[in-house]
Amino acid sequence: LHNRELVDRMSPEEVEYLKTYGGLVERHFNRTVLNAMPKEAWRKLNEPDMIDSPDLDAYVFCKVLETVEIDSSIGDKKKKASRAARDEDDSDEDDEDEMGSSIQEHSAGSFLIARFAAIQKHVLEGRIVLLV
């Protein structure tokens, strides 16, 4: 629970689950591993930078709560590599793909499967919710 911004976005049930799960994991590691480690090494495991961040390339199920425009090229490694190659070739092509713009509008009530990188901003702003 080091990152207050993340905890503030969680529901009370998620926070309770996180606390319970964290307690179980901590007890397990104390019994099986940490009791045999030097205390200095154990303290480093509790630092905030040890917390994983979400996989931005993972596809997620979500529901659109407010009409949004989603740029599907955000964080797209293949598209970045393609742009870099075009820049090296001194090509004057624009950044649109064969199908046109990578920006799409999605209306409220829509359900999507999208890369998390493309919708992360909207999730943080409360315009899209992730579905479990």
Question: What DSSP assignment string belongs to 107-127?
Answer: -TT-EEEEEHHHHHHHHHTTS
pTM: 0.52
Q: How far is CA 15 from CA 1, 8, 54, 111, in A?
A: 9, 9, 17, 26
Q: How confident is the model over 21-50, as a mean pLDDT?
A: 81
Total residues belonging to the chain: 132
Segment 70-110, tens digit of pLDDT: 998 887 665 555 555 555 554 444 445 455 678 899 999 99
Residue 114: pLDDT band with limits 50, 70, 90: very high
Tell me the pLDDT of the chain averaged across its residues. 80
